[in-house]
Amino acid sequence: MNQTVQETLLGAIRTIPDYPKPGILFRDITTLLGDARAFRRAVDELVHPYAGTRVEKIAGIEARGFILGGAIAHQLSAGFVPIRKKGKLPHDTVRIAYSLEYGVDEMEMHRDGVRPGEKVILVDDLIATGGTAEAATKLLQQMGAEVVAACFVIDLPDLGGRSKIEALGVPVRTLIAFAGH
Ligand code: AMP
């Protein structure tokens, strides 16, 4: 029987309990990335609504967003822009602070990574509280990019991340969801 995309993806993601700390169910996509069919299906399904539309750049969030984002950029004939933890990018950067569960962190992109008016899709593997993607979206918007969508393989809907991104005027696309953290 043919598996649906959701069945393929669910079957390819490994869940690690209590990683990186007690109570967290870590959704490990390395098993999905290592499965040629699941990786292709995830990328195909994420790009599907945007095929044939004009998208100049894919912005990927370090580190798993780089892997998915690179494949998506290739598929859509778009450029790729890395959004990284602070201090990793070599040229002139713009930076934004964002809250983590304990404390704050900062992320950066190159100042010339996007041009005003460019259409950009933001990519990461998973959206939980949405804090990371919200900061990345704000950074791109501050640089004048038009963020046309934010795409994730996995949604943790109980944590409410989607509405943070939608509040910035950006549609969110996710492929599968897991209850809880
Ligand atoms: P958040 O800012 O809360 O939406 O967290 C999203 C970021 O943390 C993404 O880059 C995810 O890869 C990572 N992350 C958060 N929760 C999990 C989880 N349960 N399993 C795997 N990665 C996670």
pLDDT tens figures, 84-138: 999 999 999 999 999 987 789 999 999 999 999 999 999 999 999 999 999 999 9
Quote the mean pLDDT of the chain: 97
Q: How many domains are there within the chain?
A: 1
Is residue 159 situated within a structural domain?
yes
**Pocket of ligand 1, beta carbon within 6 A:** 24-27, 61, 64, 124-133, 161, 181
CATH number of the domain residue 120 falls in: 3.40.50.2020
Full domain range(s) for residue 80 = 54-177
Closest-lying ligand 1 atom to the alpha carbon of residue 24: 19
pLDDT tens figures, 17-33: 999 999 999 999 999 99
- Which of 24, 30, 132 should be mutated for ligand 1, with most atoms under 8 A from CB? 132
pLDDT at residue 1, rounded to an integer: 63
pLDDT at residue 37, rounded to an integer: 98
Region 139-155: what's the mean pLDDT?
Answer: 98
Do 96 and 138 contact (CB within 8 A), yes or no? yes
Closest-lying ligand 1 atom to the alpha carbon of residue 127: 4
Is residue 45 situated within a structural domain?
no
**Of the candidates 109, 107, 133, the residue with the CA atom closest to the CA atom of residue 122:** 133
Judging by beta carbons within 10 Å of its beta carbon (0-12, 13-18, 19+), is residue 123 exposed, middle or buried? buried
pLDDT of 2 > 90? The answer is no
pLDDT at residue 181, rounded to an integer: 81
Is residue 133 situated within a structural domain?
yes
Q: Report the C-alpha gap between 29 and 1 in whole angstroms.
A: 24
Is residue 110 situated within a structural domain?
yes
Is residue 91 situated within a structural domain?
yes
pLDDT of 62 > 70? The answer is yes
- 91 SS3 class: coil
Region 141-155: what's the mean pLDDT?
Answer: 98
Do 151 and 123 contact (CB within 8 A), yes or no? yes
